[in-house]
Amino acid sequence: MADFYLGADVGSVSTNVVALDEQKHLSAKVYLRTGGRPLVALIDGVRAIQQTIGPSARVAGVGATGSGRLLAGCLLGADVVKNEITAHAAASLETEPSVRTVLEIGGQDSKIIFLRQGTVSDFAMNTVCAAGTGSFLDRQAARLNVPIEKFGQYALLSRQPVRIAGRCAVFAESDMVHKQQMGHTLPDIIRGLCEAIVRNYLNNLAKGKKIESPVVFQGGVAANIGIVEEFKRQLCCDIIVPRHYDVMGALGSALLAFEAMNGKGQGMNGKGQGMNGKGQGTSFVGFDRLHRDYNARSVECDDCVNACEVIELRADGKLVSCWGDRCGKWSVVLAQGEEPRLFTKPADCEQAEPHHEQAVESRPRGRA
């Protein structure tokens, strides 16, 4: 019976799941739209993978990444829960061992990763703005009535790109509307948009750092040939788009799970460690247990002024996990097996309770 390693990347726009075999070859991949429902997308994804690799396949390790990695980690019982940077770097290194720069544009964030001697030496991620990421392109494609898959091909038809203001997604859209009304052709506008996105990316992320080849471009946006060509033109070097560019995050997390389960996971910090410790089997919940009825909701804790939003995840009505508390006290109580007081309160009485603290008044000590 073959062993498989699963990797799940729950992102803002897409949820991807992959399965690796024991030789670290990709044996199944699923790319799904998250559609605002990460739980459903993830379960569908894992089920689709199960159908490809067969019902008798044994899962030897699970990794989770993406913005929904905590959720995915709880739901699947992941052995490794890692951030996207590390996962993407791991996947790039596996597919292109000599890589020195990774460009990644995802649904709502973009990253640039610099690698030297097989390790991340520096990275940058967009901080205050998400213009030029996948969701923006998605939206523009929908507005222009062009299927997102063909968006890039349109750009290649352009002879005279239009300059689009790319700093803010909303203003870029206004600018595009304006350019359409001026009578510019669709290909010119799309090419202009690709240019603006690449310009924005290089100015805001790379910020004068040296981009050395080989350069790998991955993430959902790498499907857009217009953007790839634009990167080639502006960086004056070849751009490698890996075969599984769209699921690199999931691939990376599966690789990290592989390493962790095969005893190479030392030295990893914090949450990187397999949740069940080394040397034991996977903590994967099993395919059959995914059919439970899941519910997640947030509760505002009013124990102190931090007013944390604590997220609780229930499976078949039973609390399985919670996170989001700054002090960690609810997570600790949960680990001891009790239902924390915070979650037993009925949901509607929270709104009814006024939240305002009493003024902290102090007595004067002596008079002047």
Query: What's the distance, CA 216 to chain centroid?
Result: 18
**Rounded to the nearest whole angstrom, what is the least distance from the CB of residue 24 to other proteins in the complex?**
12
Nearer to other proteins, 82 or 191 (CB): 82
Q: Could you give the residue ranges of the DSSP H alpha helices within 202-236?
A: 225-235
**Rounded to the nearest whole angstrom, what is the least distance from the CB of residue 174 to other proteins in the complex?**
19
**Rounded to the nearest whole angstrom, what is the least distance from the CB of residue 339 to other proteins in the complex?**
20
List CB contacts of 98: < 8 A, sequence separation 6 or more: 214
HSE-up of 32 (CA within 13 Å, CB side)?
Answer: 25
- Distances, alpha carbon 5 to alpha carbons 10, 29, 181, 314, 354, in Å: 16, 12, 52, 26, 49
Which phi-psi region, left, alpha or beta, contains residue 192 (left: φ > 0; alpha: ψ -120 to 50)?
Answer: alpha
User: Residue 78 and residue 363: Cα distance in Å, rounded?
Assistant: 53
Q: How many residues does the chain have?
A: 368
**Rounded to the nearest whole angstrom, what is the least distance from the CB of residue 201 to other proteins in the complex?**
17
Of 251, 223, 45, 244, nearest in space to 138 by CA: 223
Place of tokens 């603006």: 196
**Range 113-119 contact pairs with CB under 8 angstroms and sequence separation of 24 or more:** 113/85, 113/88, 113/89, 114/209, 115/89, 118/93
**Rounded to the nearest whole angstrom, what is the least distance from the CB of residue 154 to other proteins in the complex?**
31
Q: Identify whether the C-beta of residue 69 lies closer than 8 Å to the C-beta of residue 81.
A: yes
Nearer to other proteins, 142 or 304 (CB): 304
SS3 127: coil
**Rounded to the nearest whole angstrom, what is the least distance from the CB of residue 155 to other proteins in the complex?**
29
Which structure tokens are listed for 55?
């019902």
**Rounded to the nearest whole angstrom, what is the least distance from the CB of residue 38 to other proteins in the complex?**
12
**Dihedral, 52, 55, 56, 59 alpha carbons, nearest 10:** 70
Nearer to other proteins, 287 or 323 (CB): 323
Nearer to other proteins, 13 or 164 (CB): 13
Nearer to other proteins, 127 or 351 (CB): 127
User: Residue 12 and residue 37: Cα distance in Å, rounded?
Assistant: 10
**Rounded to the nearest whole angstrom, what is the least distance from the CB of residue 172 to other proteins in the complex?**
19
Residues binding other proteins (CB under 8 A) = 67, 82-86, 89-90, 93, 109, 117-125, 127-128, 207-209, 255-256, 259-260, 264-272, 304-307, 326-329, 332, 355-357, 359-368
Nearer to other proteins, 35 or 328 (CB): 328
Nearer to other proteins, 160 or 306 (CB): 306
The DSSP element (H or E) to which 80 belongs, if any, is: strand 80-81
SS3 111: strand
Nearer to other proteins, 92 or 140 (CB): 92
**Rounded to the nearest whole angstrom, what is the least distance from the CB of residue 365 to other proteins in the complex?**
5
Q: Identify whether the C-beta of residue 159 lies closer than 8 Å to the C-beta of residue 185.
A: no
Q: Return the exposure string of 52-70: e unless at least 16 CB atoms fall within 10 Å of the residue's CB, then b.
A: ebeeebebbbbbbbbbbbb
**Rounded to the nearest whole angstrom, what is the least distance from the CB of residue 226 to other proteins in the complex?**
27
